[in-house]
Chains A and B, each alone.
Chain A
Amino acid sequence: MTSDFHPQTAKRSWGRVVEAHHDVARPGSPEAAAALLPVLQDRGETGLPIGLGRSYGDSNLNPDGALIETARLDHYIEFDPDAGVLRAEAGVSLDDILRLIVPRGWFLPTTPGTRYVTLGGAIANDVHGKNHHLAGSFGCHLRRFTLARSDRGVLDIRPDSEPDLFAATIGGLGLTGLILDVELQLVPIRSACIDQHVEPLRNVDAFFDIAEARATDYEHTVAWIDCTARGDRLGQGVFSSGNWAASGGLEPHAAKAGPALPVDAPGFALNPLTLRAFNMVYRRVQLLKPQNSRVHYAGFFHPLDSIRDWNRLYGARGFYQYQSVIPFDTAREATREMLDRIARSGQGSFLAVLKTLGDRPSPGLMSFPMPGVTLALDFANAGTKTLQLMAELDALVKSSGGRLYPAKDGRISADMFQQGYPEWERVETLRDPALSSAFWRRVTS
């Protein structure tokens, strides 16, 4: 490796299960970043772009290979506060962008559940948010981007000029090239606040009824599910909906996250008892809130961002996140079945999220969202029994015509992946030969 790459022994993703050696480069400019790809190619090694490392499993890792960190590709190129058009380098975080644009009356077209993701990461996983049922995914709002490849140099990618690479890079898991910069159309807001509506969910059936009703009146919807509840309480929880408020000021979120978890929590901190207690308390607290209230966007969209390094709560062994989407036809049955398995296992975590995804198509070839219902939750890594539970869930998802989210995955089989993403072979043909990941090698083998 050249002196641009420095060995780093224990690089981990957000779930902290996989830990591996990488040679890491942090190029200081787009030109320096682009120049790294032919170097890798010449040496017959592979690299992988990495943003803020918020993907949980192994899709952002390339063990024993190289990583190209985009941390220093963090410059804005141009911001037009009148038209709401933003051009920025791919390592700029959504956190930084919101602090810039909110005071000027703009917001991101959609945001995932954390602000600590980069533009590059948001595209490579074609992220979705609470407004997916109306806005679609992140890739639906891209005007153009610049892509560096080992074989073709730096390319201007637009839907009409390079349609194949445009489509393959959105949800392309960092494999089609290194995104250098991005042009986004922002959406106007009149305040930084959301008018939130909170209501109880009796069980999983109630979710399906309420979600359908709220989707027409509310731009943002999501449900939190107590995954320890069983029987006719299966899927009990809280449904939250929101619309941008007409007033309330344009104050962005505070610059720094709250206190960090300084050390790994001991392994026993999360057990069925503490989980049940947490779920109960959380539900009560949510329902104690007034049904209708005005809240700041940060609390509404990014509740976990107020605790830095919360992933260390799961202890040194790390955790898995499991996120599926199931098409509407089979969703009711399959969701009930999955929640039942999880509740019986006693392994469910405190963060089970249920949401309907809409039918606005993404330009991406391997985009995760599709019309249907997505379920996301954490499992502390308890070894075989956790893997076994997830394998059972896999079977259910597969037979219901669903698929899993690569951003959250570190273990699914090639078969499971290929069935969910039939276009994967087109992405493989368009892959930059100098790029690869642990995830990709597994699911294409």
Chain B
Amino acid sequence: MTETRSPRKVLILGALSAMAAATARRLAAQGAEFVLTGRKADALEREANDLKARGAGSVSIQVIDLLETSRCDAVMDLAVEAMGGLDTVLVFYGILGDQAQAETDPQEAERIIAVNYSSAVHWVMAAARALEAHAGSSGVLLTASSVAGDRGRRSNFVYGSAKAGLSVLMQGLAHKWAAQDNAPRAVNLKLGFVDTPMTDGIEKGGPLWAKPDDIAAIAERALVKGGPNVYAPWFWRFIMLAIRVTPFFVFNKVNL
């Protein structure tokens, strides 16, 4: 899909996520500019070269652990300076964590919540302020949440609760912006199963597994229109609808 707008100025939080990289490639082909953030300098460098070859206007990198939420505003300022503006923020960082461990070790539970939710609150708020100030209605804030947040399941409910928090946060932000003139858009992807390093340990196959580029195509479209909640791929809307309306006495027997 090609847009008739000037190339995007994109800040990616968690640019090394497989889905973030796939999305960035699509935007690079349209000449977008980027500030990439992540923890690994070499890997960010590699990503930057790839995006430049694919047509990105400019790419700079910021090595940061996104748990360092004291740097939120500074990173926004840096992005604005590097690209001469900012109109798109993609929040892709996250961890699956270990549910079993989280049930006995509060630190693991804490870590899952800190990465997927509490730090994200800081970044989402800072990004919202920056987009309001620098982009107005051309701004978009997109987050990667999960269908795991739609109903608690025994296999991953700590992670699920953090993603539920993120989804509600974005829902609220979208609600706030809907009431304002010249406000940016908030889009929250509710992702199903995606074949990325995060799910490498899980045996794959079957029609429910999407590829990172399938998600990237959905994200690319969601940046232009739709939302605030976008199930990715779309069929998860119906799967989750079925799962949500399943009565407890049935649900409790299913191993999910």
A residues with a Cβ closer than 8 A to B are: 3, 6, 8, 26, 28-29, 31, 72, 75-79, 88, 100
Contact = CB atoms under 8 A, between A and B. Distances in A.
Contacts of A75: 46-47, 49-50
Interface string B169-211: 0000000000000000000000000000100110100000000
B46 A29 contact: yes
Interface size class of B (residues with CB under 8 A): 10 to 19
Contact of B50 (A6, A26, A76): A76
B54 A76 contact: yes
Contact of A29 (B18, B43, B55, B201): B43
Given A6-B203, A100-B53, 8 more contacts: A8-B203, A26-B200, A29-B42, A72-B197, A75-B49, A76-B54, A78-B53, A79-B53
Contacts, number: 31
22 contacts: A3-B201, A6-B201, A6-B203, A26-B200, A28-B197, A29-B42, A29-B43, A29-B46, A31-B42, A72-B197, A75-B46, A75-B47, A76-B50, A76-B53, A76-B54, A77-B49, A77-B50, A77-B53, A78-B49, A78-B53, A79-B53, A100-B54
Interface of B: 18, 42-43, 46-47, 49-50, 53-55, 197, 200-201, 203
A214 B54 CA distance: 37
A6 B200 contact: yes
* Most-contacted residue by chain B among A3, A29, A75, A88 (CB, 10 A): A75
A76 B47 CA distance: 9
Closest 6 CB pairs of A and B: A76-B53, A75-B50, A79-B53, A76-B50, A75-B46, A77-B49
Given A29-B43, A100-B54, A76 B49 contact: yes
B109 to A, nearest CB: 23
Contacts of A88: 53
A6 B203 CA distance: 8
A8 B46 CA distance: 29
A72 B22 CA distance: 11
Contacts of B55: 100
A77 B53 CA distance: 7
A78 B52 CA distance: 8
A74 to B, nearest CB: 8
Contacts of A28: 197
Nearest to A31: B42
Contacts of B46: 29, 75
A188 to B, nearest CB: 18
B23 to A, nearest CB: 14
A78 B51 CA distance: 10
